[in-house]
Chain A
Amino acid sequence: MSYVDMSYGDLLGGLITTDMEAGNYTPLTEATFLILLSLAHKPKHGYAIMKDVRAMSKDRVVLSTGTLYGAIRRLLEQAWIERLDTTLEEEKSEASQGRQRKAYVLTRLGSQILEAEIKRISGLAEVARLRTAGSRA
């Protein structure tokens, strides 16, 4: 990837070199965390993110369309995610019928912030596990 091809989020991600710097953006709200997590492995369009967030949280976090797009707008502005110009593989048949949905993907910066948040939560969970194990013993 040349610098010309890199997005703003990728460039910012390149500038953030340590976990500590990415950790400055954490803790994330639950909705933001779940949206980023939903995009961790592959790009998704709005409705797929909505369903994924609901499934991951076991129906606890149900995003409305307005809340989802409010979050998407902020994440795009912060360059944590970006819009994908290409059509997703599973949507090629829809695109050929004139329906082109916009997909979103994590930028390098978004990935680093997500990783930092996962580390933070894991660290907390580890401390909690040790403490509760100690009290039981």
Chain B
Amino acid sequence: MKTTSCWPVILYARMLRFYPPSFRAEYEEEMLFVFSQAVAESARRGKAALAGLFLREALSWPRELLVVYRDWLAGLVNNEISPRVEPAWNSKLESGKRDPMDPKNKNAGWSVHNRRQALLAALPPLLFGLGIGISWLVIGRQWQSISRLQLYAGIGAGFLAAAVIAVGALFALLKGLPDWGYMWVGSALLGFVLLLQTAAEELAESGLYHLSAGGETAVEILILLLFLAFLSISAWRGWQCAGMASIGMSSILAVSLYHVVAVPPLNRPDMAALAIPYGALVAGLVYLFLRRSSTLWQAAALLFIGLVNLAAVMTVDTAWQALLDTGKPFPILPFAGIISGLLLAGPLLSLAGRPVRRRFRRE
């Protein structure tokens, strides 16, 4: 289809970019073609007709956009995944795209059974583990005396991993949260909270932290609501999606503990290198969780991830006990509780909400 390349068509093409990807894939080219035909005809009738046409499009655009997004989100929320369904080997699912507006995809399969997508979903813990491990292997124990280049290379490795996870999560959100995206968004969400906490601590050390107690509470409530909203959306889509969201969150928190052992007062960057095998192990278990359709296998994978997370907590505790004999004990129980709670929150929320989901679907 050829389109006229005059300014209203170019502008209209830009406006169409705001629609959801699934809608664009289906109608963008056709809409642009129809609009260019309308432009050509209006141009023959004069500038006023052309301006009228564009004004009409511009005025109806926000309303139509809202309607399309409303339907798209409704489709997203109602589109629970059935783990028992065999993989649907059609091109749309293989490419990771799920069009919630397409009724044909309403009961589409658990698309991460696809090997490529399962690998993609398993990447965040491995990436973050590699980032932290490499970072501290490069920096080493004597970080005060190393060259600036070495320091920046070490810090850069960690930031690069975090940035890739953040970009992947953003991409998943823009793609309408395909199945693999739950791991990435869950990981990025927890990473974002860790980043906020680190920034707050750094600012406090420099005396630049000015948030009141009330402000802090407000931020904490906002973060809690953000977590709850994401877990609820995942839980609505099924316990496997909620499981992925939970694994993403808990594994990022667990891998960050290997960073904790490397910084003062523990100063054990050698132990931080354990983040690499940890990340690889969790990624392998996530892959198993996604590729196996049996609930028993999936529950076993979750259990093992929980145990590996506890091993990370134990590692920090060991370093803590060995180096700080007389100091405050490491809060092993609260940490283990938070990490395990995060891991179980999604699947349990989904299972608890099953009667509600069934009732909504029947209606």
B-binding residues in A (CB < 8 A): 45-47, 50, 62, 64-70, 72-73, 77, 99-102
Closest chain A CB from B357 CB (angstroms) = 22
Closest to B64 in A: A66
Contact present for A47 and B38 (CB under 8 Å): yes
Given contacts A47-B34, A64-B57, A67-B64, 11 further A-B contacts (CB under 8 A): A45-B34, A46-B33, A47-B37, A50-B38, A64-B56, A65-B34, A65-B38, A68-B34, A72-B27, A100-B1, A102-B30
Contact present for B1 and A67 (CB under 8 Å): no
* Main secondary structure on A side of the interface with B: helix
Q: Is B287 an interface residue, CB under 8 A from the partner?
A: no
Q: How many residue pairs bridge A and B at CB < 8 Å?
A: 55
Instruction: List B contacts of A65 (CB < 8 A).
Output: 12, 31, 34-35, 38, 57
Contact present for B30 and A99 (CB under 8 Å): no
Q: What is the size category of the interface that chain B forms with chain A?
A: 20 to 34
Closest chain B CB from A25 CB (angstroms) = 17
Contact present for A46 and B34 (CB under 8 Å): yes
Q: Is B2 an interface residue, CB under 8 A from the partner?
A: yes
Could you tell me the distance between the alpha carbons of A70 and B26 in the complex, rounded to whole angstroms?
Answer: 12
Q: Is B145 an interface residue, CB under 8 A from the partner?
A: no
Could you tell me the distance between the alpha carbons of A87 and B59 in the complex, rounded to whole angstroms?
Answer: 33
Instruction: List A contacts of B101 (CB < 8 A).
Output: 73, 77
Selected A-B contacts with CB under 8 Å, 16 pairs: A47-B38, A50-B34, A50-B38, A62-B56, A64-B59, A64-B64, A66-B57, A66-B65, A69-B30, A69-B31, A69-B34, A70-B68, A73-B27, A77-B103, A100-B1, A102-B30
Closest chain A CB from B113 CB (angstroms) = 27
Instruction: List B contacts of A73 (CB < 8 A).
Output: 23, 26-27, 68, 101
Q: Top 7 A-B pairs ranked by shortest CB distance?
A: A66-B64, A64-B60, A46-B34, A65-B35, A47-B34, A47-B37, A70-B64
Q: Is B304 an interface residue, CB under 8 A from the partner?
A: no
Which residues between 59 and 111 of chain B lie within 8 Å of chain A, taking CB atoms?
59-61, 64-65, 67-68, 101, 103
Instruction: List A contacts of B12 (CB < 8 A).
Output: 65
Contact present for B2 and A99 (CB under 8 Å): yes
Asked if A66 meets B60 with Cβ closer than 8 Å, knowing A77-B103, A102-B30, the reply is yes
Which among A70, A77, A101 is the interface contact of B67 at CB below 8 angstroms?
A70
